[in-house]
Amino acid sequence: MPNYVFLGPPGAGKGTLGAMLCETYGNIHVSTGDILRAELASGSALGREVAECMEGGGLVSDELVAKLVRKRLGREDIAAAGFLLDGFPRTVPQAEALDALLAEVGLSLDRAVLFEVDQELLFKRMAGRRLCPACGAIYNTFFMPPRQAGFCDACPGTALVTRKDDNPETVRNRLAVYQEQTAPLIGHYAKKGLLTRVDGTPPKEETFAVLQAALGI
């Protein structure tokens, strides 16, 4: 199965489209954000180490994330199923570490997909996001508000919450960090002839169809 990297600013839909692709084609979804959030939630030593950095919207160290990815890509199931890396690499040193790691384990990257979305829309997607802590439903104050502001439609009386790194100041920081540290990766993959650009503005079903056509799958 082909191996993919999903690139793009936070809020561009990498996680959502990645889940759709993996569900349809069986690739293994490797999201460094999800791995790190699970460590945070478990209260592990690693989780405590990265908490402050993640909550402020900064990046955790290249060495630490590279180690997590190495551990996951080194497992046997990857070669047959193919991987989809979501949120990694995020810096040029991480991309170089990935190239070295893939060479070491005998895998290769087939495509790096860049999801492009306008800054203002990204801001609204993230800063407007609200979650129901009881049922996991996701709302957006700009695009999909609940019937009663601040409360879940399905769970009466349950107040919606904002992910810590979705507060407006952190969102601005995450977007700036993307421009500074992650956008240079576009050139890294373009030079290798692996880059495919997809407009991430439309609703997810539409973007997924464009993605499938772009990947020829």
* Residues contributing to the site for ligand AMP (CB under 6 A): 10, 32-33, 36, 53-54, 57-60, 65, 87-88, 90, 94, 165, 174
Based on CB atoms, which residue is closest to ligand AMP, 33 or 202? Answer: 33
Alpha helix stretches (DSSP H) within 82-184: 92-105, 119-127, 168-177
Please state, in angstroms and rounded to a whole number, the distance separating the CA atoms of residues 184 and 206: 27
Min CB(156)–ligand AMP separation in Å: 30
| Cα–Cα distance measured from residue 151 to residue 166, given in angstroms and rounded to the nearest whole number | 18
Helix/strand/coil for 180: helix
Q: Which residues pair with 30 in a beta bridge?
A: 85
| Closest separation in Å from C-beta 61 to ligand AMP | 7
Q: 174 an active-site residue? A: yes
Rounded to whole angstroms, the Cα distance separating 50 from 18 reads 24
Residue with token string 């810096």? 91
Between 90 and 125, name the residue whose CB sits nearer to ligand AMP: 90
75 is catalytic: no
Q: CA–CA separation, 4 vs 217, rounded Å?
A: 12
Residue nearer to ligand AMP on the CB measure, 69 or 132: 69
Distance between CA atoms of residues 151 and 121, nearest Å: 23
Nearer to ligand AMP by C-beta: 5 or 211?
5
191 is catalytic: no
Name which of 109 and 165 has its Cβ closer to ligand AMP: 165
- Tell me the C-alpha distance between 6 and 17, whole Å: 9
Q: Closest distance between ligand AMP and the C-beta of residue 127, in Å?
A: 14
Angle between helix 45-55 and helix 32-42 axes, rounded to 10 deg: 120
Residue 151 beta carbon to ligand AMP: minimum distance, rounded to whole angstroms: 25
> One of 37, 111, 124, 163 is an active-site residue; which one?
163
- Known catalytic membership, residue 48: no
90 is catalytic: yes
Give the span between the Cα atoms of 18 and 28, in whole angstroms: 9
Minimum distance of ligand AMP from residue 183's CB (angstroms): 14
- From CA 7, how far away is CA 113, in angstroms rounded? 6
Q: Please list the active-site residues.
A: 14, 90, 129, 163, 174
